[in-house]
Structure 1
Amino acid sequence: MKFLIDNNLSPHLARALHELSKREANPSVEVFALRERFEQDAKDHDWLGALKATGESSSVLSADNFRKSDAERELMRTSGLNVFVLQKSWASQSYWAQAAQLVHWWPRIISQAAAVQRSAYRVPWRTSGKFEQIRL
């Protein structure tokens, strides 16, 4: 299972989650920053198109709602990816608070990604919250 961390989140979070995931019961979890595979300034439609072309099954974690264009939303819908979008309230938190909260959410994100295909969810800030399914 592969997770792509979008450029709007720190690549350090991707590396940390990758290392932490090695301790999971499923060691096949790989986490990488978007910029590790694509140019840092790659447009969403470029990397989404590339992932769709490879048929690679991945999940995306982003702070972006992917609402820039109808074409981008359509590509996201047809890409075969699971998408986890951080609720807007994450942006107002400090880097360390975001990191701690993301680590807390991470096992639930892995479980959800394993249980579904081609779905999109909003990840609330509060850990007592639940995933909210969203339409792209």
Structure 2
Amino acid sequence: MKVFFDHNLSPALARALHELFKPQHEVVALRDKFPATISDLDWITALSRDGQWVVISGDRRITRNRAEYQAFGNSRLIGMFLSKGLQKAPVVKQAERLLALWSTIETVAGTVTGGAMFELPMASNRLSQIK
């Protein structure tokens, strides 16, 4: 599984998960793959061309901005968006929840097509699909 952390999440968290899960999974932070100033539309397009990626994001704006939502929905990407509470949580809590949800993320990523978006919850192990 290829996993991409957008700029709203700690690149250190992405790097730690990369070390933990390599070589089985590739986990990269936005700033390790693209210039920090890249627009959401540009990285969505580039990653989609590159293949199926799981995007872990704290940027729910992507789900509300019409152009970004359409680009993501038409992409080969699978979105995992942190819930509001999880986005505001300390990085240690985010890491804890991502580790707890990792097998669920793997399962979902293997069963859905690109353009699907889900919310990563603060407490439960059930992902909700974002329509």
- Normalising by structure 2, we get a TM-score of 0.89
Gaps of 5+ in 2: none
Q: Does 1:31 align with 2:10?
A: no
Aligned to 2:86: 90
Secondary structure (helix, strand or coil) at the match of 1:130 reads: coil
Aligned to 1:40: 36
Which one of the candidate residues 36, 58, 61 is aligned to 1:63?
A: 58
CA gap 1:59/1:90 in 2 versus in 1, 3 angstroms: same
Q: Percent identity?
A: 37
Size of the aligned set, in residue pairs, is 129
Aligned to 1:125: 122
Q: Does 1:116 align with 2:117?
A: no
Q: Equivalents in 2 of 1:83, 1:49: separation in Å?
A: 14
Gaps of 5+ in 1: none
Q: Equivalents in 2 of 1:29, 1:73: separation in Å?
A: 26
Offset of 1:55 from its aligned partner? 4.3
Secondary structure (helix, strand or coil) at the match of 2:16 reads: helix
Contact 2:104 2:125 in 1 (8 A): no
Q: Equivalents in 2 of 1:95, 1:51: separation in Å?
A: 25
Q: What amino acid does structure 2 have at the position aligned with 1:74?
A: Q
Q: Equivalents in 2 of 1:59, 1:29: separation in Å?
A: 11
Q: Equivalents in 2 of 1:81, 1:12: separation in Å?
A: 22
Contact 2:79 2:118 in 1 (8 A): yes
